[in-house]
Amino acid sequence: MLKKILVFVMLATVAVDCFAGKKSEKTEPVVHLTDEEIYTELQKLALVFETARDNFVEEADEKKMLEAAMNGMLAELDPHSSYLNADDFKDFNDKTQGEFGGLGIQITSDRGAIRVISPIDDTPAARAGIKAGDYIMRIDDEQVFDMTLNQAVKKMKGRPGTKVRLTIMDEDHETKTLTLKRDIIKVKSVKSRVVQLADGDEGSPKIGYVRISEFGATTVKELTDAIKKLEKSKVAGYVLDVRNNPGGYLTAAIGVSDAFLDDGEIVSTRGKEKTDIDRNFAKPGDLTNGKPIVVLINHGSASASEIVAGALQDNGRALVMGSQSFGKGSVQQQKPLGDGTAIHITIARYYTPSGRSIQNEGITPDVQVLQSRVKVLEKRDSDYSEASFKNSLKNEDAKKTKKTKTDDSKSRKDDEDEDDIDFNNLTEEEKDARDYQLQRGISMVIAMTKMQMTVDDRRAIVTAENAEKEQNKAREKLRADAETSEK
């Protein structure tokens, strides 16, 4: 009897310690259990399982109970750790290889709720207007509160062509119910094309636009092919768009960063132990030949996207524009358990080259540009200018350009309410023209190209500076030697 009382007191003490730790998680150290205490707790867990199975009012599903216990254990660590049964593990591998079924939506757990990190480009979720930061309240009229990530993903998956209803609450706390048709999600993670300013001159520089929607197994190869193609088009600079990119493979993020860097650190990952540090550096060979780059980010840019933005920002290789990123600075790894199942667990935090941790902070853009709608308030070619004055001096070197008549129908179209526009039916050029952040990014790259010296110019200056330093050292040595001789 005394032994049972002592065990009960011990367990109660452990429970109180754990509860206190949860309330002041940031300041209280973790109270570790001894091997004997862990064994006792595991015995208790087995007792809870047997008691629940034998006394529950309906027939219990033992497998579901045990999977839920393992999921609960891992979910207590952080929002990104979970247990993957055989189906979940297979689905995860299918997804990272570039093709999977479902809605095309990346989600995370947020205090018991399911929140959207971002929809994937050209998927049912993106076409339905689901945004980063939205909360999923119901799936087919079933409440999702305290549902695990894997459970939510399973309910949204299904046979292509079948439908699912999602009740969404946006960041303004407005709710709406959407009916989406499931599809095979084929992820081509990199898209690229040549872009120009919507209201730019025909002779304005061509800019290479590269959109990365997520970081998968084929992303680095797709990016390499895209840059080679754009370089043949003789673009003057690049806009790298990782907005609403939820992340993916760490190796893919390192490879993408390396494509734009000649040297320097890309990212460091730091594990549990102080000595568990892994640093990754760029190899020589900037595929863009030093041309100016603007990286576009927003609050849907997470994980691997933040690695790339932070690496290019800290190395002074690119200007980051947009809004504060998501702030997921942790690395997950799949640990197979040998029977077709695995655990998805956080193993490290990652840091930018300057030593910044992105966890819960995100990347702060160099230039904040919030997505906006812009209405043109003046004509591009005004009738009022120096040229409009009588007897004004002519510019004999000016190129002759055809005057275009103002199209009133076009003006009326520009003034219409954009809420009535079906963006799915717009051309890429029309979408680009309405993307304020992209237009600002393009104009910034153009400005950078006008101010930037060529790579050879920079090398020449560096060489001259080094030569001058060597000459100064030689003069100082001669002066020191002369002073020594006089003494």
Domain boundary among 186, 221, 254: 186
**Is there a single domain that holds both residue 273 and residue 330?**
yes
**Is there a single domain that holds both residue 175 and residue 220?**
no
Mean pLDDT throughout 336-361? 93
**Is there a single domain that holds both residue 236 and residue 354?**
yes
Q: d(Cα 341, Cα 326) in Å, to the nearest integer?
A: 29
**Is there a single domain that holds both residue 215 and residue 353?**
yes
Annotation says 379 is catalytic: no
Contact 154, 101 (CB under 8 A): no
Compute the mean pLDDT over every residue in the chain, rounded to the nearest whole number. 81
Mean pLDDT throughout 424-435? 78
Percent of all residues in the chain with a pLDDT value above 90, rounded to a whole number: 48
**Is there a single domain that holds both residue 334 and residue 355?**
yes
**Is there a single domain that holds both residue 204 and residue 334?**
yes
More confident call, 484 vs 155: 155
| SS3 annotation, 18-51 | HHHHHHCCCCCCCCCCCHHHHHHHHHHHHHHHHH
Domain boundary among 368, 390, 418: 368
**Is there a single domain that holds both residue 105 and residue 177?**
yes
Rg (CA), the chain: 29
- 19 lies in some domain: yes
356 lies in which domain range?
A: 190-368
More confident call, 184 vs 59: 59
**Is there a single domain that holds both residue 219 and residue 135?**
no
Domain boundary among 315, 338, 368: 368
Catalytic residue among 314, 323, 330, 432: 314
- 481 lies in some domain: no
Catalytic residue among 134, 325, 328, 435: 328
Annotation says 314 is catalytic: yes
Contact 118, 106 (CB under 8 A): yes
- 439 lies in some domain: no
Number of domains in the chain: 3
**Is there a single domain that holds both residue 245 and residue 303?**
yes
Contact 313, 320 (CB under 8 A): yes
- pLDDT tens figures, 276-316: 999 999 999 999 999 999 999 999 899 999 999 999 999 99
3-state SS class at 433: helix
Residue 362 has pLDDT above 80, yes or no: yes
Residue in the structure block whose two tokens are 């393992």: 70
Catalytic residue among 82, 303, 325, 330: 303
- 109 lies in some domain: yes
Annotation says 372 is catalytic: no
